[in-house]
Structure 1
Amino acid sequence: MINSHEFCKALLEQTGLSLFAYDTSSGQFVYLSPAFKEIFKIQDDQSDIVALLQQVHPDDQEHVLSKLTEANEPGICPEIEFRIRLTGQEEQWVCLRPTVLEQSTGERLIIGQAEDISFQRQYNDNLKKFSNKKNSILNILSHDLAGPMGMIHGLSEILLERLGDKADEDALEIIHLIDKSSQNGTRLIQEFIKKEFLEAANTGVITRRVNLVEKFREALVEYNHFEGKVLSVHFEFTPAQEEIYAQVDDNKFMQAINNLISNALKFTPDGGRITVGLEEKESQVLITVADTGVGIPEQYHATLFEEFTKARRPGLKGEPSVGLGMSIIKTIVEWHHGQITFKSKEGEGTTFYITLPKD
């Protein structure tokens, strides 16, 4: 007669999936598929959780333990992404998909699947790295072109005023065309940036565990590159440490950060400073974007995050505003279960504070 236990085990192993079953009461794995052992390089005689944790990156061990400890209620649990370090190999990323089963005896099993997601992470990181670069360059172009476009607009008005009735019809038509083209150019860039931002905001939120320090550096590299060339504002990034992890949709979240930096750039005069800070608290991550700009008038503080807010103002170099940016930023932060606040005083600059839960 066929042993049902052996039959199920053979069937599971035939799938080639990295499967596991962990008994929470004994602290032992009751089943590890060959594919699971291969990922973590666990020997056949290693059946406790210590063997698994030995392969986990030291900075991620607490994260993995806390997530498995939280898995108390029966049912499918949130995925756990973490790094493993194997002797003689590069750092790998693994995704654990656990499910809690409660037996009739009251004992609980955590079963599930592990998957090596190193390639997917690398691929997504490269895509998002170039997306951040594109958004930064768009914001720089918008700021850099707003000055010359505004000057062309101003000079056109001066020409019209001085020429008055003396100008012939062809000259007036050319001046009007120059003026219209300069305004259309500025508007076109702003509309393109707004479209990019809205498209990112209107797609579904897919979070993953990422190193925010790395993502912020990718977003700021272009601003630093153009500093002193086309930008006359000094940029600083001051992370409290080199690795600060949080569960975010990095594409959307970095769009929000990019928009905050762009906003600071619009209202910071030449020679000013924009400082981005990143700090890890006990259960939260604190992000600050501070500038030494003109500040936000007191009467606009209460309505700053409203859609089409009356707080919208053109930038110092004439950059237009439709009043949607701050509203969308707040929405994206709230999608991540975070909060955004600010402090500002006219003539002394503005600081935005974003707090995110680490998990």
Structure 2
Amino acid sequence: MAEIRNDIFFKMGSSASDAYFIFDIQQSSFTYVNDAFTILFNCLENSINIKQLWSAVHDEDKDHLQSCYEELLADGGTKKYVFRILSVDETVKYLKCSAYFDQEHNEIYGVLDDFTTAQENKTHIEQINGRKNVTLEVLSHDLKEPLGMIKMAVSSMENKIGRVAEEEFKDSLQFIADVCERNLKLIRSMVNHEFLKSSVVAIKRERVDLIWELKDVVRFYKRSHLREIRNFTFSSGQEKIFMFLDSMKFMQVVNNLISNAIKFTSFGGNIEVNAEDRGETVVVSVSDNGIGIPEKIKEKLFQNEKSVLRQGLNGEESGGLGMSIIKDIVDLHHGRIWLVSEQGIGTTFYIELPKQ
């Protein structure tokens, strides 16, 4: 029976990305580890050194792990523990250990799940939420006075309707417009800063239907008021394309490209999103028939430089962070991004991503 159980465990371990092991209590040695285990601890299957593995455990977690080990032996059954290790390059890894103590054979069966990315994301998200609260406090404080001034100006204009000259009304309207513009710049600056900070969160890939995700984005624009001034289309030769990606971050990329296309495309212009399956990779493109991009800007477009900033056709401001963030997210997916653009004809951005 034990041989059958071990055989099943071995088969599971041979194809798993998690680290599988069997530890013999009496011999104080590992009788089985899978490939993922050796990769995690940077060791060879036939030369696993207990002291070496123990030295990899984070100093702050050693007492905790020792007490977990003693608890498992005392209680038996299945337990779950969390601890940290230091990899060869001194980076911290967070591990979840699901362990079962087989008292009859005096062996521990265990599975180690490396959830470092999820833990780091959680930490980053907590930091971002903290900054968000500070941002909202600053905005609520700094916007309170100008909004009050606008309210007073509007109230004064209402009271003077029919009793003041047109020039005075124009001055009041210009005052309101100036106050709004200054504070819109404040909001835009703070939002861009937080957007840049949030891009450092590591990606978390999940299996998604890319076609459905892209159609959903285009559907949003078709339902918005923008459908009256731009033509949005989606095309693909496939009904479904399944791949692994961080859909939230990648759709952020697509939205940013569409947003830029809107800024530099005239009323009635065309914006198309396309997805092409190339076997091991997928190419997503966002095209427009707008004003195009000058050669001198193309070279530095994906760099965070103010020299590439330019206003949209209707005077829309650019924070200058969008394209550099787009490239960062594409790089995190081990993909590449490039563009083809001709002034007066239009621009197409291409993103090629691996499916796995």
TM bucket normalised to smaller: 0.5 to 0.7
Shift of 1:195: 5.6
Aligned partner of 1:179 in structure 2 is 177
1:1-359 map, 5 Å: 5=2, 9=5, 20-22=9-11, 74-76=35-37, 174-184=172-182, 186-187=184-185, 190-191=188-189, 194=192, 197-198=195-196, 200-226=198-224, 231-359=228-356
Deviations 1:6-48 (A, max 9, x none): 7x95xx9xxxxxx7542999x9xxxxxxxxxxxxxxxxxxxxx
8 Å contact 1:268–1:291 — kept in the other structure? yes
Shift of 1:309: 4.0
8 Å contact 2:237–2:276 — kept in the other structure? yes
CA distance in 1, matches of 2:175, 2:12: 76
CA distance in 2, matches of 1:269, 1:209: 37
8 Å contact 2:281–2:355 — kept in the other structure? yes
The 1:305–1:330 alpha-carbon spacing in structure 2 relative to 1, beyond 3 Å, is: same
TM-score (norm 1): 0.53
CA distance in 1, matches of 2:226, 2:167: 43
Q: Which amino acid aligns with 1:208?
A: E
The 1:348–1:77 alpha-carbon spacing in structure 2 relative to 1, beyond 3 Å, is: farther
8 Å contact 2:270–2:288 — kept in the other structure? yes
CA distance in 1, matches of 2:345, 2:38: 47
CA distance in 2, matches of 1:271, 1:202: 37
CA distance in 2, matches of 1:220, 1:266: 16
CA distance in 1, matches of 2:194, 2:240: 29
8 Å contact 2:188–2:319 — kept in the other structure? no
- Can you give the 5+ residue segments of structure 2 that lack an aligned partner in the other structure? 16-33, 48-108, 112-164
Per chain length, whose mean CA-contact separation is higher, i.e. which structure has more relative contact order (CA < 8 Å, sep 6+)?
Answer: 1
CA distance in 1, matches of 2:271, 2:191: 20
Q: Which amino acid aligns with 1:249?
A: D
Aligned partner of 2:95 in structure 1 is none
How many residue pairs end up in the alignment? Answer: 224
8 Å contact 1:234–1:273 — kept in the other structure? yes
Secondary structure (helix, strand or coil) at the match of 1:75 reads helix
The 1:192–1:317 alpha-carbon spacing in structure 2 relative to 1, beyond 3 Å, is: farther
Deviations 1:95-116 (A, max 9, x none): xxxxxx9789xxxxxx998xxx
CA distance in 2, matches of 1:278, 1:239: 5
CA distance in 2, matches of 1:233, 1:170: 37
Q: Which amino acid aligns with 2:196?
A: L
Secondary structure (helix, strand or coil) at the match of 1:303 reads coil
8 Å contact 2:196–2:321 — kept in the other structure? no
TM-score (norm 2): 0.54
Aligned partner of 1:158 in structure 2 is none
8 Å contact 2:335–2:351 — kept in the other structure? yes
Shift of 1:174: 2.0
- Can you give the 5+ residue segments of structure 1 that lack an aligned partner in the other structure? 13-18, 28-72, 79-100, 105-110, 114-166
CA distance in 2, matches of 1:303, 1:318: 22
Identity %: 39
8 Å contact 2:243–2:355 — kept in the other structure? yes
Shift of 1:77: 10
Secondary structure (helix, strand or coil) at the match of 1:310 reads helix
The 1:189–1:262 alpha-carbon spacing in structure 2 relative to 1, beyond 3 Å, is: farther
The 1:197–1:221 alpha-carbon spacing in structure 2 relative to 1, beyond 3 Å, is: farther
CA distance in 1, matches of 2:38, 2:224: 45
The 1:332–1:220 alpha-carbon spacing in structure 2 relative to 1, beyond 3 Å, is: same
Aligned partner of 2:114 in structure 1 is none
8 Å contact 2:189–2:319 — kept in the other structure? no
8 Å contact 1:268–1:292 — kept in the other structure? yes
8 Å contact 2:282–2:355 — kept in the other structure? yes
Q: Which amino acid aligns with 2:323?
A: M
8 Å contact 1:292–1:349 — kept in the other structure? yes
CA distance in 1, matches of 2:232, 2:110: 46
Shift of 1:308: 2.5
